[in-house]
């Protein structure tokens, strides 16, 4: 096969993946993506993550890791946790699930009603949409990524977690990240983004660009529950997912 033919086959394969991803996310408008691609390159975490944001992320205190070098050890340390008020109404602690050495980590806000029932993160309708994004869009099995939340117990009436609850529980999230060592993190929605990046900036403003937590590139995007309410935002999530895939690809090449 000559080079030109090979390139053509690769372009067609890329285009097909692009269209399948849009279909998976329910995006109806097809973009050329040319200008976005240019912005993507200049927006890469290595080149331009805003120093201010990096500083803010670094200022988040990292817990001592001596006893928590593996996910199992973190789970053991968490135990039958009663460290914050959320323990009182939960059915199950939802620690997280996925590959212990996942290259991609998704962080949501907290367990919903289905998650609490099953003891598993991002279930229900919103979780189903996330699975579609991962499996149909990114072509990765859900079991190959890791999914967890900022707080591990369901806030009553699906309210947002209170700052004290987040402050108490986030130590375990940080230990999970240190154990997994993901290449890329995706924060889903405002609560996860604010807590991990130590910012009050809204996800609408932060999404689409790279941020950094402990040297790891972080892409904030909309929570799948928001996409169920505002389907038109799927287009932005699709753009964010494209950047995440490009970054994973780049990281894979660097590691090879
Ligand atoms: S939310 Fe976190 S800190 Fe609070 S009880 Fe549950 S596991 Fe413990």
Q: How far is the CA of 167 from the centre of ligand 1 (A)?
A: 10
Tens of pLDDT, residue by residue over 28-46, are: 544 444 333 333 333 444 4
CATH fold of 62-255: Uracil-DNA Glycosylase, subunit E (3.40.470)
Element counts in the chain: helices (H) and strands (E): 12, 6
Coil, strand or helix at 220 = strand
Judge if pTM exceeds 0.85.
Answer: no
Pairing mode, strands 216-221 and 184-188: parallel
Tens of pLDDT, residue by residue over 132-172, are: 999 999 999 999 999 999 999 999 998 999 999 999 999 99
83 lines ligand 1 (CB under 6 A): yes
Domain positions in the chain are: 62-255
49 lines ligand 1 (CB under 6 A): no
> Which residue's alpha carbon is nearest to atom 8 within ligand 1?
81
Q: Which residues contact 154 (CB under 8 A, 6 or more apart)?
A: 86, 89, 90, 91, 94, 110, 111, 112, 113, 115, 116
């Amino acid at each position: 096969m000559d080079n030109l033919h090979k390139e053509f086959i690769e372009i067609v394969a890329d285009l097909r993946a692009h269209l399948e991803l849009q279909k998976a996310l329910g995006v109806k408008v097809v973009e050329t993506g040319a200008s976005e691609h240019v912005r993507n390159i200049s927006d890469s975490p290595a080149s331009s993550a805003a120093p201010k944001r990096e500083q803010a992320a670094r200022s988040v205190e990292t817990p001592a890791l001596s006893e928590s070098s593996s996910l199992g050890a973190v789970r053991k340390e968490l135990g039958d946790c009663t460290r914050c008020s959320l323990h009182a109404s939960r059915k199950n602690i939802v620690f997280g699930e996925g590959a212990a050495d996942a290259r991609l980590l998704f962080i949501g806000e907290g367990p919903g009603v289905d998650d609490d029932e099953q003891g598993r993160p991002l279930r229900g309708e919103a979780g189903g949409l996330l699975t579609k994004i991962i499996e149909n869009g990114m072509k990765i099995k859900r079991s190959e990524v890791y999914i967890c939340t900022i707080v591990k117990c369901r806030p009553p009436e699906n309210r947002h977690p209170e700052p004290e609850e987040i402050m108490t529980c986030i130590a375990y999230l940080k230990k999970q990240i240190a154990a997994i060592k993901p290449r890329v993190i995706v924060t889903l929605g405002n609560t996860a983004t604010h807590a991990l990046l130590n910012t009050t900036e809204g996800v609408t403003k932060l999404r689409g660009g790279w941020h950094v937590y402990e040297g790891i590139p972080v892409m904030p995007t909309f929570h799948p529950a928001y996409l169920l309410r505002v389907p038109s935002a799927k287009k932005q999530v699709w753009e964010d997912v494209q950047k995440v895939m490009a970054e994973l690809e780049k990281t894979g090449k660097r590691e090879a």
